[in-house]
Structure 1
Amino acid sequence: MIILEFKAKGQESQYSAIDEAIRTVKFIRNSCIRLWLDNKGTGKSDLSRYSKILAKEFPFANELNSTARQAASERAWSSIVRFYDNCQKKVPGKKGFPRFQKLARSVEYKKSGWKLSPDKKSITFTDKKGIGKLKLKGTWDLWRFDKKQINRVRIVKRADGYYVQFCVAVNVKEEVEHTGEMVGLDVGIKEFYTDSNGHSEPNPRFYRKGEKRLKFYQRRVSRKKKGSSNRKKAVNRLSRQHLKISRQRQEHAKRLARCVIRSRSVGFAESNDLVAYVRAACRRQDLRVKNLVKNHCLAKSINDAGWYQFRKWLEHFGTKFDRITVAVNPAYTSQNCSECGEVVKKSLSTRTHVCECGCELDRDHNAAINIRNRAISTTGHVGTWIINPNASGDLASTVLDSGQVQQVESMNEESPRLMTGECQPIS
């Protein structure tokens, strides 16, 4: 499954119709949440039926395509299911209780409500919202895929315009020869990651570099009168700058993840059959990012690193190229010696690991070796793909039906540059 995204070009009246459709989706979703709150035992089918009732009661809801209304009710149910799952798993802290949506950015259609042109360079939305025909601008070759492969179509509103996304059912797996190479990764703030081979990738710090420009646009917003058109323009410029930084961070994580899966380190031609990383450094529920960012000295740098995006792309490319990705327990990976296993206590300010056995390595390099060794003890010999259930590590699932919805929900989208072989999901 892949996501193809195109910039949508149309008239102002069409953009207004898209905004109206998005508001209708928000209304249906929030109404379904209210129904669930007021009626104990409400299920998914009840929410789907309620979307039909809303269409009969409100003319503006009836103007939206029926599949788009169903998708809106499914959004409400997905938030409810996520809350139930977090309660059953006893996730510490807030469980994500479903809330009413204030800002919506997309409307989603299923198999009906839209029609592609024969050359697949434009799309026409056929419901009564009046969106009409939109031109598609992009480099993806949509004509390569049959219309039957397109499961859903989504219109997304961003700071720099409107986009049309196509969810295409296609096999993205590629055959790559196994090499038996294994690598461990230790992510951090000073260096984005350091692998077990000693290679380190610098942290680009996109937010830090763009902070001066962000402050400039933020000052311009604060000087404008609230509710004025000039303030809206200033807010849009600020949003565009934030969007630029977000895209830079996303593309950086994507490029590095592909290079790690396909090569031993950036610049090498060999591929890695096993990639191990610290579970606590890349997984939200293990890392407790909300707790880490309470440290005001490191909060900005932690948020700017983008560890979780990097982990998601590692798992995506691991699935695509049929490679093992393993998240290991982070306990004592920095303290234990990678040579003899002795505990060498050190503070965060100590950047060099020195052991009595004669091992002297960079702190992150030593941790990366320990991460790789733990992954090997978890998965067994890579060549035979043996899983050891008694080992002290967690095998990260890279299967779409594994139940880790949050890990794969946006990882089906790839940059057009990936299709050309360069090292580089729905948001």
Structure 2
Amino acid sequence: MYIKYRSERWGQGGDARVLVMEYKAVVNKNQKIAINEAIRTSQFVRNKVLRYWMDNRGVGKKELYRYNTQLRDEFKFVKDLNSHACQASVENVERAINRFFDKCKKGKPGKKGYPRFKKHSRSVEYKQSGWKLHPTKRRITFTDKKGVGGLKLLGKWDINTIDEKLIKRVRIVKRADGFYVQFCVKVDNTQPAPDTTSEVGIDVGLEYFYSDSNGNHEHNPRFLRKVEKDIKRSQRKIYKKKKGSSGRRKARGVYARKHLRVTRQRNEHASRLARNLCLLNSMVVLEDLNVSGLVRNHKLASSIVDASWYLFRQWLEYFGRKFGREVIAVPPHYTSQECSNCGVRTQKSLSTRTHYCSHCGHIEQRDINAAKVILSRVNGRGGHPQTNASGVVVPTSVGSNTCKSKQRR
């Protein structure tokens, strides 16, 4: 079983958070067909509502939900799906539209993310109806007319500890290795953590996964690089099979499961490191990197994606909230060029792995020097007058643990 944490995405609004508890579902052949039909129906509703919005500019939220009701009256297979599941598809469109207009209003450079049609949906989402938990809470029954029926749940985290009223959403997710059921529970997931006053700055990289201001390096596991040849071999086998054949379908499944394994390895690695950092330090400072912009460099894109920097930051923010720690992102400008001892900038190429300051003679490993600079942008220079960054320190924690933005002069 895999446990994730993500912000509320189902129309609750505000700073609400949910804990997502995920279980493997045991399905038979007929249930597999029924789940796939429910997923396709959910995708159909979403795409039809989006097309309605495109063809009728200016329509609001009420009109979208009214059109959803029309779809249920017009198509029997839509009516067979639970009404709240159809509403969840409309909410998906509504979020995409609002996100697009928000980016336009804020003047975000580049593409604004105009809502697009879904071609390959892999989940169907129910609200607080359309499903029923067994008293043992080891089985779940979907009560709409799609015919999914009862599913046995496999997992270590016993959902018996959770009040059923706190389950806000239930989602069936299709993956390469089977089907999963996610319970989105609105709970206070904060936990007490050991008292500590230590602070750390971290600099993510490709040679090392990260280097910290205490002089430590974390090995970069390079999960994709290790199995890249095997994945490419399995990909070539797909094209050797006849189109539409069962052999080609099986080969695609093998290929997808290999990628899924890499994804889970990255997630486990990032969450473990983030948890340890937040337990050991009262404040973690990192760079506010634009990862989507960095991957445009085609020579480094694969390595950056394999390092999963953004996933690591998400886990840091989660454990920061959970343990009451401060997780702060600072502007990344010149962190690799500045001297952590005197603040003077020394130009160096990416191939130069040792920092040498011609002003004060300070010599240090490049990434550790950058981690110390990152930490200093929150704590101050200790008397040095140099300015370390242009811009405002960005707090990534939410709530009472948010650190106030600081600017040195």
- Same fold by TM (over 0.5)? yes
Distance between the aligned counterparts of 2:166 and 2:246, measured in 1?
Answer: 43
Compare 158-167 and 40-49 and name the one that shifted more.
Answer: 40-49
Give 1:277's aligned residue: 286
Higher relative contact order (CA 8 A, sep 6+): 1
Alignment of 1:9-408 (within 5 A): 9-263=26-280, 272-280=281-289, 286-289=290-293, 292-356=294-358, 357-377=360-380, 392-399=391-398
Q: What is the letter of the counterpart of residue 191 of structure 1?
A: Y
Partner of 1:413: none
Query: How far 1:42 moved relative to its partner?
Result: 1.7
One-letter code aligned to 1:399: V
Deviation at 1:129, TM superposition (A): 0.3
Counterpart contact for 2:202–2:212, Cα < 8 Å: yes
User: Could you tell me whether the CA contact under 8 Å between 1:336 and 1:342 is conserved in 2?
Assistant: yes
- What SS class does the counterpart of residue 24 from structure 2 fall into? strand
Structure 2 equivalent of residue 411 of structure 1:
none
CA distance in 1, matches of 2:81, 2:283: 47
CA gap 1:334/1:391 in 2 versus in 1, 3 angstroms: closer
Distance 1:312 1:252 in 2: 13
Q: What CA deviation, in whole Å up to 9, does each residue of 1:318-377 have, x standing for no partner?
A: 011111111101111111111111111111111101113131110000000000010224
Distance 1:37 1:202, change over 3 A: same
Matched residues in 2 for 1:391 and 1:345: separation?
A: 18
Distance 2:380 2:89 in 1: 45
Quote the offset at 1:88 in angstroms: 1.4
- Residue 49 of structure 1 deviates from its aligned partner by 2.0
TM-score, normalised to structure 1's length? Answer: 0.85
Provide, for residues 147-200 of structure 1, a one-character-per-residue CA deviation record: whole Å limited to 9, x for no partner. Answer: 111111000000100000001111110122432211001000100000000111
Q: Percent identity?
A: 53
Shift in Å, 1:44: 2.2
Secondary structure, counterpart of 2:152 in structure 1? strand
How high is the TM-score relative to the length of structure 2? 0.89
Checking the alignment, whether the CA contact within 8 Å between 1:327 and 1:375 is kept in structure 2 is: no
For 1:52-103, what per-residue CA distance to the aligned partner results, in whole angstroms no more than 9, with x for missing partners? 1100000000000011010010011111111111111222111111111100
Q: Which of 227-236 and 116-125 deviates more?
A: 227-236
Go from structure 1 to structure 2 and tell me whether the alpha carbon gap of 1:17 and 1:369 turns closer, same or farther (over 3 Å shift). Answer: same
Question: Quick check: 194-203 or 227-236, which moved more?
Answer: 227-236
Letter in 2 for 1:354: Y
CA RMSD between the two structures: 1.9
- Structure 2 residue ranges without an equivalent (≥5): 1-17, 383-388, 401-409
Unpaired runs of 5+ in structure 1? 264-271, 281-285, 381-389, 402-427
Deviation at 1:110, TM superposition (A): 0.6
Write the letter of the residue equivalent to 2:325.
Answer: R
Tell me the SS of whatever aligns to 1:124. strand
**Change beyond 3 A, Cα 1:377–1:29:** farther
The answer as to whether partners of 1:374 and 1:393 remain within 8 angstroms in 2 is no
* Preserved CA contact (<8 Å) 2:238 2:252: yes
Moved more, 332-341 or 176-185: 176-185
- Contact 1:183–1:275 at 8 Å: present in 2 too? yes
CA distance in 1, matches of 2:292, 2:167: 37
Query: Contact between 2:291 and 2:310, CA under 8 Å: does it hold in 1?
Result: no
Aligned-partner Cα distance in 2 for 1:400–1:175:
16
Amino acid aligned to 1:296: H
Residues 203, 374 of structure 2: 8 Å contact kept:
yes
Q: Against the structure 1 CA distance between its residues 288 and 215, is the aligned structure 2 distance closer, same or farther, given a 3 Å change threshold?
A: closer
**Paired residues of 2:194 and 2:279 also in contact (CA < 8 A):** no
Contact 2:278–2:284 (8 Å) recurs in 1: yes
Cα distance between partner residues in 2 of 1:26 and 1:341: 54
Greater Cα shift, 9-18 or 36-45: 36-45
CA contact (8 A) 2:331 2:390 kept: no
Partners of 2:291 and 2:309 within 8 A in 1: no
Q: What is the number of equivalent residue pairs in this alignment? A: 377
**Post-superposition offset of 1:392:** 4.3
User: CA separation in 1, counterparts of 2:143 and 2:379?
Assistant: 54
In structure 2, relative to structure 1, the CA distance for the partners of 1:400 and 1:209 (3 Å cut) is farther
The residue that corresponds to 2:8 in the other structure is none
Q: How far, CA to CA, are the matches of 2:399 and 2:341 in structure 1?
A: 37
User: Aligned partners of 1:288 and 1:125: how far apart in 2?
Assistant: 39
Q: Letter of the 1:365 partner, please give it.
A: I
For 1:31 and 1:178, the matched residues in 2 are separated by: 53
Q: 1:126 is aligned with what amino acid?
A: T
